[in-house]
Amino acid sequence: MKKIKGGFVLEARQTFTSEIWKRPAWWYKVWRYIIMKVNWFDNERTGLKRGSGWFTYKTIYSDCHLGLDNLRVNSITRTMQWLKASKQISTTKSTRGFIINVINYNLFQDFNNYEVQAEIHTPIHIPSTGSPQPVHTISEGSYKEVKKKETTLPNPAVRLLIAYFIERFTAIVGTPPMMTFPACGALAKSFLAAGHTLEDGKKVIDFFFTTDKAKEHPTFEVAFSSHSINLWKTRGAKNERKSGIHAIRTV
């Protein structure tokens, strides 16, 4: 089945009871536009964080086709004021217009925060005595499977990193993980673009599977979240020195 281009954003059903649902319909259109346009990952090149993006009133007006409702560009001002007053966004002036930060973006754009998550991911058991042993190779089968699905990112290191996660997960759980390859590929590419190596990425994965978070949400997205990466930087390297874990070579 052909994949839908452009990715997706999550929508909580509690939106029906939110305050913006009681506002003019075009306000909600502007709100959803903002959520769809902000970055869904930390952008090292622009310096914009996940949930933030550059905007101008003119682009919002044009992209949302507000002229069809006989609205003017300055009509957006009141909507933006309300979004800021209700703690939905914060804004910062920029030479290119202004930066919008969606305050609760990480909360609402994370599968792990929804009750339905229990139906998607089953918590895994990691023995409390000692950490799971890293796999020593990335099998040719795993790499070929990733290469077949991850066609949008030709970087071999990206595929190897995803394949390594699959091997680690499978070694612990016994079955391969469910993965959204374009999203995981983008995270892996961002991690490597930030100056990290493939060996760093494998260390992040090894360390991730020693944490309590891996027991609850053993996903690639959580493993390479900014929180997990920072935790690895502060605690992982120290643990590696103590345990004598060295970089793992691939075959």
DSSP letter for each residue of 199-223:
HHHHHHHHHHTTSHHHHH---HHHH
pLDDT value at residue 160: 86
| 34 and 100 Cβ atoms separated by less than 8 Å | yes
Domain count, the chain: 2
CATH number at residue 95: 1.10.10
> Do 156 and 103 fall within a single domain?
no
Residue 250 domain flag = no
> Do 157 and 234 fall within a single domain?
yes
Tell me the two tokens of residue 27.
């306000």
| 100 and 55 Cβ atoms separated by less than 8 Å | yes
Count the helix, strand and coil residues of the chain and give each as a percent rounded to the nearest 5. Answer: 55, 5, 40
Ramachandran category for residue 12: left, alpha or beta (phi over 0 → left; psi -120 to 50 → alpha): beta
The CA–CA distances, whole Å, from 53 to 26, 71, 93 equal: 20, 24, 12
Residues of the domain holding 73: 13-107
> Do 101 and 140 fall within a single domain?
no
Q: Which of 107, 126, 154 is the last residue of a domain?
A: 107
Tens-digit pLDDT string for the chain (251 aa)? 676 777 788 888 889 899 999 999 999 999 999 999 999 888 878 888 999 999 999 999 999 999 999 999 999 999 999 999 999 999 999 888 999 999 999 888 876 677 643 333 444 444 444 444 444 344 445 545 555 554 444 578 888 888 888 888 888 877 778 777 777 888 888 899 888 998 999 999 999 888 888 877 888 988 999 888 988 988 865 555 554 443 333 33
**Strands (DSSP E) found in 86-195:** 89-94, 97-102
pLDDT value at residue 139: 47
3 state SS of 53: strand
Q: Which of 64, 84, 107 is the last residue of a domain?
A: 107
pLDDT value at residue 238: 59
Q: Which of 60, 80, 107 is the last residue of a domain?
A: 107
Please state, as a whole number, how many other Cβ atoms lie within 10 Å of the Cβ of residue 224. Answer: 23
> Do 168 and 92 fall within a single domain?
no
> Do 100 and 170 fall within a single domain?
no
pLDDT value at residue 60: 97
| 205 and 135 Cβ atoms separated by less than 8 Å | no
Residue 1 domain flag = no
| 236 and 242 Cβ atoms separated by less than 8 Å | no
pLDDT value at residue 115: 61
pLDDT value at residue 91: 96
pLDDT value at residue 170: 83
- Name, in order, each residue with C-beta under 8 angstroms of 211's C-beta and a sequence gap of 6 or more: 228, 231
> Do 185 and 204 fall within a single domain?
yes
Tell me the two tokens of residue 145.
């499977």
The CA–CA distances, whole Å, from 3 to 7, 11, 180, 222 equal: 9, 20, 11, 23
